[in-house]
Amino acid sequence: MIAEIGLACLWMAGALALLQLVTGALALTSKGVGLAGIVRPVAVAQGLLCGLAFVCLIALFLRTDLSVKLIATNSHSLKPFIYKLAGTWGNHEGSMLLWVTVMALAGAFIALVERRLRNDTMLATLAGQAFVSIGFYAFLLLSSNPFERLAVPPPEGNGLNPLLQDIGLAFHPPTLYLGYVGLSIAFSFAIGALVTSDVGPAFARAMRPWVLGAWLFLTIGITAGSYWAYYELGWGGWWFWDPVENASLMPWLAATALIHSSSVLATRNALRAWTVMLAVVAFSMSMIGTFLVRSGILTSVHAFAVDPERGSFILALLAIYIGGALVLFAIRARTITEGARFALTSRESALVVNNVMLSAILGIVLLGTLYPLLTEAFGEKVSVGPPYFDPVGAIFFIPMLLVMAVGPLLHWRNDRLGRITGKIAIPALLIGAVLLGLALFAPSLFTPSFKLLPFIGMGLAVGLAVASVMPLIGRNLRRTPLPTWGMVVAHLGIAVSLFGVATDSAFATEKLVASRIGESHTVGPWSITLKNVEPVAGPNWTSLEATMAASYDGGTATTIHPQARNYTSPPTVTSESALLTRWNGQLYAVLGEEADDGRWQLRLWWKPFVPMIWYGGLLIGLGGLLSLIGRVARDMKRSRAEEKIADRRERQGR
């Protein structure tokens, strides 16, 4: 019964989305003005119905209703509660339903609260939003119905891929989805503004919280995904330039650019066409990401099902949305009037550099990700990895970081570099000092080959950390607006992450040994003794667990337990690495197989400052959160004040 209710809700929500598109579009014409009043309520109803459908699916998963095909193939009655819940979106159909639900709820929310935009722009925005969701409703209802029943329910479900049975990963996909969907709202705003040629500060202010929110979730999702890959795969790496990772990085890059350009548009009414274009690009990247991950064109743990039909469906949606938006842009770009002017030395110029560099990096990642697919079409199989992405990306990343250090210190519109020389000099000198120090005291950087990028990275990270807090100097910290704090914290986060990345690639040490029980090994400053290896059992797995004593620099030993786990349904082996975190780095231990002579394979790493990569990611997210709170609070204050003014005018009978 629950499944049928869910399906009915989904159909009705789809129908309402169609109604929302038609009425929204008609209301823009002179004859259909009377319809304008129903667009907002329809959007709200659509959101509620879609939300209800998703709640139905969650209920089915929690009850493990095996008569529903999706649950029989993806769940198992013995799974812990949290993974039953997470199983709702840990599969293709459920994750697409989550996508549509978040989009519909976001649409309902803007229909309820957004009052700043001109009425016609708002109608066009809601129509655009319905246009995007219709495609996804069609996709769900026609080719990926999550509520499909089985004629004969199986006695037990198939289970969830054990690699995905991890608390961090349970919430990684929905986080990224919130990011993707937030960008779809920004896209709708851009469409609305293009249709009515109403591209100005009000558009940027209405769109900005959604971009900030999307960006915040993408940041957290990418950080969590990277940490998961780091400790769950047991390879000691934290970013592999895997196409699926790139699929989440590309929307992030576009959203980062969009945040900065919409702040120019909101504050200075410049970069109008560019901002609209970026909003289209950012959503395109979300769609491309979804296509790459969901179509099965790539193989990874993210590709739930290899199904060409679904791939073609998403590709068709991608073509319609992006093609349509670009055509609209081409027609309307001329009507977007020239924005405000600014000088070469100004905050705006710095942000233009930021935008152009981010776009270039985005292009490089996109080309590197699509290139293997292109060559395969011509019968040549290739893979593209760090030797491409690292140096080519750095060519644009390094100048961007330099401008990032200077830009926040500049005034809007027109400034002189001479005014801020004093403030730039400190970080610049620091960069020089760090590089000199490394050249003199870190010979390992230069043998066997010169590690150029980590070398530059460490210098830049220290300089950038100092430069990022410079905008606070000479300010009353209590009266500094939250968005400024957000910027400072996010920029500091970039510096912290960069420091972690650079020190890890420069100074990580690795040891691979076959060890007897009782034998000791050194890796970096650590001494590690293998005490024993014993079998242990968990709720749905059995495992070999090593006990090791690890002591840092001759200090007291800490016990760690890396495992090699065997899951039963479906049968899979995963390695659970053991991590020991200190303030200055992390020890990383993996247990391998037993050799014929009773020795155990061990892989040990000492990774200096590696956790800073993720601390930095969290700081970046925190910065986004501070900005978001600051912006929303300011918007609410302003709209309350405007209401009061309108109220007073009414009472005075004006």
Partner 1 sequence: MNTSKLLKAKHQRLILLVIALVVLTGAGLLAAWALRSQASYFYVPSDIQADPPEIGVAVRLGGIVEKGSLQTAPDGVTIDFVVEDGKARTPVRFSGITPALFVEGSGVVAEGRLADGGVFIADNLLAKHDEKYVPREMADMTKARDAMAQTQ
Q: Which residues of the shown chain bind partner 1 in the complex (CB under 8 A)? A: 161, 163, 234-235, 271, 273-274, 298-301, 303, 338-339, 341-345, 352, 356-357, 359-361, 363-364, 367-368, 371-372, 375, 380-385, 387-388, 391-392, 395-396, 413-414, 512-514, 564, 570-575, 590, 592-593, 595-597, 599, 601, 603
Q: Is residue 23 within 8 Å of 39, Cβ to Cβ?
A: yes
Closest to partner 1 by CB, 41 or 201: 201
Closest to partner 1 by CB, 112 or 367: 367
Closest to partner 1 by CB, 545 or 635: 545
Q: Which two tokens stand for residue 219?
A: 């940041």
Q: Which two tokens stand for residue 442?
A: 């870190």
Nearest CA to 17 out of 151, 114, 128 is that of 128
3-state secondary structure of 197: coil
**How far is residue 278's CA from residue 215's CA, in Å, rounded to a whole number?**
14
Residue ranges of E strands in 442-539 = 509-515, 520-523, 526-537
Q: φ, ψ for residue 154 (rounded to 5)?
A: -75, 160
Give the sign of the dihedral formed by CA 250, CA 21, CA 198, CA 212.
negative
Q: Which residues of 394-430 are buried (b: 16+ CB within 10 A; e: fewer)?
A: bebbeebbbbbbbbbbbebeebeeeebeebbeebbeb
Residue 496 Cβ vs partner 1, minimum distance, rounded to whole Å: 27
Closest to partner 1 by CB, 62 or 392: 392
For the purposes of burial, counting CB atoms within 10 Å of the CB of 534, is it exposed (0-12), middle (13-18) or buried (19 or more)? Answer: exposed
Closest to partner 1 by CB, 553 or 597: 597
Residue 385 Cβ vs partner 1, minimum distance, rounded to whole Å: 7
Residue 301 Cβ vs partner 1, minimum distance, rounded to whole Å: 6
Give the sign of the dihedral formed by CA 390, CA 396, CA 397, CA 398.
positive
Closest to partner 1 by CB, 390 or 647: 390
Q: φ, ψ for residue 544 (rounded to 5)?
A: -100, 130
Tokens 């469409």 belong to 191
Q: Is residue 540 within 8 Å of 82, Cβ to Cβ?
A: no
Residue 413 Cβ vs partner 1, minimum distance, rounded to whole Å: 8
Residue 168 Cβ vs partner 1, minimum distance, rounded to whole Å: 18
Closest to partner 1 by CB, 11 or 412: 412
Parallel, antiparallel, or unpaired: how do β-strands 572-576 and 578-582 relate?
A: unpaired
Residue 319 Cβ vs partner 1, minimum distance, rounded to whole Å: 21
Closest to partner 1 by CB, 256 or 345: 345
Q: Is residue 466 within 8 Å of 423, Cβ to Cβ?
A: no
Residue 381 Cβ vs partner 1, minimum distance, rounded to whole Å: 3
Residue 229 Cβ vs partner 1, minimum distance, rounded to whole Å: 14
Residue 532 Cβ vs partner 1, minimum distance, rounded to whole Å: 17
Residue ranges of E strands in 457-562 = 509-515, 520-523, 526-537, 541-552, 558-560
Residue 642 Cβ vs partner 1, minimum distance, rounded to whole Å: 31
Closest to partner 1 by CB, 380 or 650: 380
**How far is residue 114's CA from residue 106's CA, in Å, rounded to a whole number?**
11
Closest to partner 1 by CB, 178 or 250: 250
Residue 364 Cβ vs partner 1, minimum distance, rounded to whole Å: 5
**How far is residue 435's CA from residue 446's CA, in Å, rounded to a whole number?**
13
Closest to partner 1 by CB, 220 or 508: 508
Residue 83 Cβ vs partner 1, minimum distance, rounded to whole Å: 17
Q: Is residue 98 within 8 Å of 50, Cβ to Cβ?
A: no
Q: Which two tokens stand for residue 565?
A: 């786990």
Residue 640 Cβ vs partner 1, minimum distance, rounded to whole Å: 34
Closest to partner 1 by CB, 299 or 559: 299
3-state secondary structure of 244: helix
Q: Is residue 587 within 8 Å of 601, Cβ to Cβ?
A: no
**How far is residue 338's CA from residue 230's CA, in Å, rounded to a whole number?**
47
Q: φ, ψ for residue 345 (rounded to 5)?
A: -95, 95
What is the 3 state secondary structure string of 4-18? HHHHHHHHHHHHHHH
Closest to partner 1 by CB, 143 or 161: 161
Closest to partner 1 by CB, 90 or 630: 90
Parallel, antiparallel, or unpaired: how do β-strands 509-515 and 572-576 relate?
A: unpaired
**How far is residue 92's CA from residue 77's CA, in Å, rounded to a whole number?**
20
Give the angle subtended at the CA of 186 by the CAs of 185 and 190, to the nearest 5°.
115
Residue 196 Cβ vs partner 1, minimum distance, rounded to whole Å: 21
3-state secondary structure of 576: strand
